[in-house]
Amino acid sequence: MPEKESPPPVILVTGAGKGIGRAVAEALAAKARGASPGVKLLLAARTAADLEALKARLDGDGVECGIAACDLAEQPLRPLEACLARFGRIDALVHCAGVGRFKDFLEQTPEDLEFTLRTNVTATFLLLQKAYAAMQAQSPRDGLRGQIQVVTSIAAEQPFPQSSTYCLSKYAQRGLLDVMRLYGRQDGIRILEVRPGAAYTPMWGEMPPDQVARMMTAEDIAQPMVDALALSARASIEVITIRPMHGDL
Ligand SMILES: NC(=O)c1ccc[n+]([C@@H]2O[C@H](COP(=O)([O-])OP(=O)(O)OC[C@H]3O[C@@H](n4cnc5c(N)ncnc54)[C@H](OP(=O)(O)O)[C@@H]3O)[C@@H](O)[C@H]2O)c1
């Protein structure tokens, strides 16, 4: 009798509207195209139009997508709830949504601090905590109960000027992931921290062409993340640091 085919894995991608998150969603869809068992994606970001455009493209490629347009600072659990309501489980959370306000230390306002910490720290904690709980409660797939990937930054391991609130939030994300990994090893939930250097995305706004030429692309970051999802359950890549070939900007 032929073996029963396993259903497509369900992957929630935050920050899927632009930049690294969108590149991850596109790379996942490209990998699944024509392959069995494919993939189911829940795409989350603030801007509904970005998500609808991406969904239309990926639907056309035969990838089943749901979308959740919301501000994680206001509704940190909404993407997870949408994922579970639509697909009934979550095999991987790829958390790319993040913000930064870059200005000198003495110019950062209480509002800059609050804005950065609400998305990068508080929403990240709440979303990861509930995603972990959902994974812990579900049956394993290919030897894992789930996988969590978070895009932090090289600003989680080294200081940069004009980045006091950003570094604060990224070091905090790194600390959370280090603690979660202690639990994940016991529970079969793989935790990957991705620390990119400069990749040219909408986060950077307008940049001089000579600087852009030195930077990585969102796709450069997305590809190893997608590859890491497919790693055997015997192994865990814990941190990926990716820098521009010719060094930081
Ligand atoms: N690009 C780099 O050089 C670089 C380097 C190191 C680390 N990172 C990190 O990588 C992650 C992704 O950055 P990126 O360069 O891809 O940024 P991006 O191009 O600005 O895209 C960010 C995505 O996240 C979404 N997002 C941001 N805040 C959100 C919130 N509060 N609620 C819901 N969605 C939110 C955005 O949605 P909307 O557009 O709809 O607001 C957008 O889809 C961030 O955590 C960033 O810190 C980036």
97-113 pLDDT tens trace? 999 999 999 999 999 99
- The pLDDT of residue 1 is above 60: no
Q: Which of 187, 182, 181 is nearest to 144 (CA)?
A: 187
> What is the C-alpha separation between 226 and 217, in angstroms, rounded?
15
- Ligand 1: which of 18, 55, 194, 204 to mutate, judged by most atoms within 8 Å of the beta carbon? 18
- Ligand 1: which of 203, 217, 243 to mutate, judged by most atoms within 8 Å of the beta carbon? 203
Check pocket membership of 71 for ligand 1, CB cut-off 6 A.
yes
Q: Would you place residue 4 in the very low, low, confident or very high pLDDT band (cuts 50, 70, 90)?
A: low
Quote the pLDDT of residue 3: 59
pLDDT tens across 172-204, in order? 999 999 999 999 999 999 999 999 999 999 999
Architecture of domain 10-242: 3-Layer(aba) Sandwich (3.40)
Distance of CA 235 to the CA centre of its chain: 20
Quote the pLDDT of residue 6: 84
CB atoms within 10 A of CB 3: 5
Name the DSSP letter for residue 118. I
Mean pLDDT of the chain: 97
Distance 98 CA to ligand 1 centre (A): 4
Check pocket membership of 198 for ligand 1, CB cut-off 6 A.
yes
Name the DSSP letter for residue 141. B
- The pLDDT of residue 2 is above 80: no
* The pTM of the whole model exceeds 0.95: yes
> Which atom of ligand 1 is nearest the CA belonging to 203?
20
Residue spans of the domains in the chain: they are: 10-242
Buried b / exposed e across 201-216, counting CB within 10 Å, b at 16+? bebbeeeeeeeeeebb
37 prior amide bond cis, ω within 30: yes
- The pLDDT of residue 28 is above 90: yes
pLDDT tens across 117-162, in order? 999 999 999 999 999 999 999 999 999 999 999 999 999 999 999 9
Distance 95 CA to ligand 1 centre (A): 9
Is the distance from CB of 189 to CB of 146 less than 8 angstroms? Answer: yes
> Which atom of ligand 1 is nearest the CA belonging to 15?
24
- The pLDDT of residue 36 is above 90: no
> Which atom of ligand 1 is nearest the CA belonging to 166?
47
Distance 227 CA to ligand 1 centre (A): 21
Check pocket membership of 8 for ligand 1, CB cut-off 6 A.
no
